[in-house]
Amino acid sequence: MLWRQASKEAIGKEYTREEALQLDDSDALRHLRSEFIIPTKDDLRRKTLSSQATYTGAQEALCIYLCGNSLGLQPHRTTHYINDYMKAWATKGVFGHFKAHPDSNIPPFVNIDDVVAQQMAPLVGASASEVAVMETLSANLHLMMASFYRPTEERYKIILEGKAFPSDQYAVESQIRHHGLDAAQAMVSIAPADPTQATVTTSQILTAIDEHASTTALILLPGVQYYTGQFFDIEIITAHAHSHGIIIGWDLAHAVGNVELLLHDWDVDFAVWCSYKYLNCGPGAIGGLFVHENHSKVDKKAIEDGHEGYRPRLSGWWGGDKATRFQMGSQFIPIPGAAGFQVGNPCALAICPLLASLEIFALASMSAVRSKSIMLTGYLEELLRRSSLRATADGTDELYWIITPSSITERGAQLSIRLRPGLLEGVLVELEEQGVVVDERKPDVIRVAPAPLYNTFSEVWDFVAIFELACTKANNSKATDNQGSGALGGTEDKGWSLIK
């Protein structure tokens, strides 16, 4: 109960809503909530985008948005940045590439990727030269594997986590086939040792690396697992991979902006991420990548002497040396650092929401954001575990149980809750009716992620109260349906199902 230990003076002994409000009052980051546009319940229910109603500022009119692990909320600043982009393009045309304007939030288009990389670097624990903002996560993953997956006759396998996000699995399999190899032989998936559990332990991962070390060319793992919310020990696993001479990359889609990262110090080879979850940059927002400085050096003398002089990669114009970029030469000399892995010039419009978001992150340290997240998710966990709907320890009579690790070092903001089979649809209907937004993973899991930049302790308290009611109603409805179905009996049961 770390959250209680950390806030003994701010709260009482009971888990009341008044206590939650006290926690909100003592929250050092509470002012950041006003940076975001939080939909009202009417916004979510309305069939149109436009509303004739005027929001009065009443907190009870706002939805409870606990879905930042899927799509973060829009900051107010985003509109200003996009408007500045549109105005610069409209009034300056091509000159917008090269001229700064004192009344604009955005830098010249030609330098906008350098500026945002500098601002992004602290969130991932890297130097600015090790970060590039570009493309999308899956595209960046392919670009990284094109450079770092160099299979040989002896070493050709890729180790990945068994429930990796599907896009990662598709990318790995396609890269293996691209090299003319059999994916069934070259993909090593790490599944939970206990089939009743959803998570994979660090020791399991280290053992798998040991078992396949002599035949493995690359390891790709998630920093935070999308389904369970498990936070992997990036430092320990990376060091173990390197002890066997294996390159390791990380998918940080659910980690960036969620947990503290020290990619350079942890000696991570490469990493990729998106920015529409905890970075709040909008659907399909621009991605990013990290390449450790050990892998991105450029030897211009070697290139001049006819040697490659840099790590093999899929090359493009925007990754070329800036000093010669506009000379339109035919010889590719990459920019030293992650920027040298860029292919085309990144979309300036797509970078604007990220600039807006990073400006908000700059108002608080990532350490402060993580500290609040630990308390907020810990509070959510404690309320859920104390519920009367979880009366037994073996799970046989429970309506739900948490599959995310309880240790704060093994999770981020998200808790994944598995419902008793058959309850998901009914629970979601009730949550939506009450203006609660969470994420589902069929057949029976909801993912709940309090985002420390805009969610509150009182919202968490309200969510648990509504969630308990939803579970009870869904279970009662299911029991009634089962009784009705059983009363029909025989072949009529199928007909009743069709009617339902």
Question: What are the pLDDT digits (tens) for 138-162?
Answer: 999 999 999 999 999 999 999 999 9
Range with lowest mean pLDDT among 27-36, 49-58, 291-300, 437-446: 49-58
Give the chain's length.
500
**What CA–CA distances, in Å, run from 33 to 36, 44, 453, 462?**
6, 19, 6, 17
For the ranges 203-212, 402-411, 478-487, which has the lowest average pLDDT? Answer: 478-487
3-state helix, strand, coil in the chain (%, to 5): 45, 15, 40
For residues 127 and 379, give the distance between their C-alpha atoms in angstroms, rounded to a whole number. 34
**Interval 464-472 mean pLDDT:** 96
The answer to whether 344 and 317 have CB atoms below 8 angstroms apart is yes
What span, in angstroms and rounded, lies between the C-alpha atoms of 67 and 441? 12
Q: How many angstroms separate the CA atoms of 382 and 115, rounded?
A: 41
In this prediction, residue 54 carries a pLDDT of 63
Residue 440: what pLDDT? 95
The pLDDT of residue 61 is above 60: yes
How many Cβ atoms are within 10 Å of 348's Cβ, its own excluded?
A: 22
- What single-letter amino acid sits at 345? N
Three-state DSSP class for residue 177: helix
More confident residue, 248 or 328: 248
With a pLDDT cut of 90, the percent of the chain lying above it is 83
Residues 459, 443 contacting (CB under 8 angstroms): no
* pLDDT tens digits along 181-200: 999 999 999 999 888 889 99
**Percentage of the chain lying above the pLDDT 70 cut:** 91
Compute the half-sphere exposure of residue 455: CA atoms within 13 Å on the CB side of its CA.
34
DSSP-assigned letters across all residues of 26-77: T-TTGGGGGGEEPPBHHHHH-SSS--SS-----GGGB-EE-BTTTSPPEEHH
> Which residue has tokens 């992150």?
361
CA–CA dist 248, 250 (Å, integer):
7
pLDDT at 95 over 90: yes
User: Is the predicted pLDDT of residue 500 greater than 80, yes or no?
Assistant: no
Question: Is the CB of residue 122 less than 8 Å from the CB of residue 288?
Answer: no
pLDDT at site 196: 81
Query: Which helix (H) or strand (E) segment is 139 a member of?
Result: helix 137-148
Of 219, 287, 223, 221, the residue nearest 254 (C-alpha): 223
pLDDT score of 396 = 57
* Residue at 92: amino acid letter: K
| The pLDDT value given to residue 366 | 97
Q: For the residues 208-221, what does the mean pLDDT come to?
A: 98
**pLDDT value of position 325:** 83
CA distances, 392 to each of 15, 27, 385, 401, 492 (Å): 20, 34, 11, 10, 36
Between strands 270-273 and 288-291, the pairing is antiparallel
Helix or strand or coil: residue 499? helix
pTM of the model: 0.92
Position 273 confidence tier, pLDDT thresholds 50, 70, 90: very high
Provide the H-helix boundaries in 194-322.
202-212, 234-243, 300-304
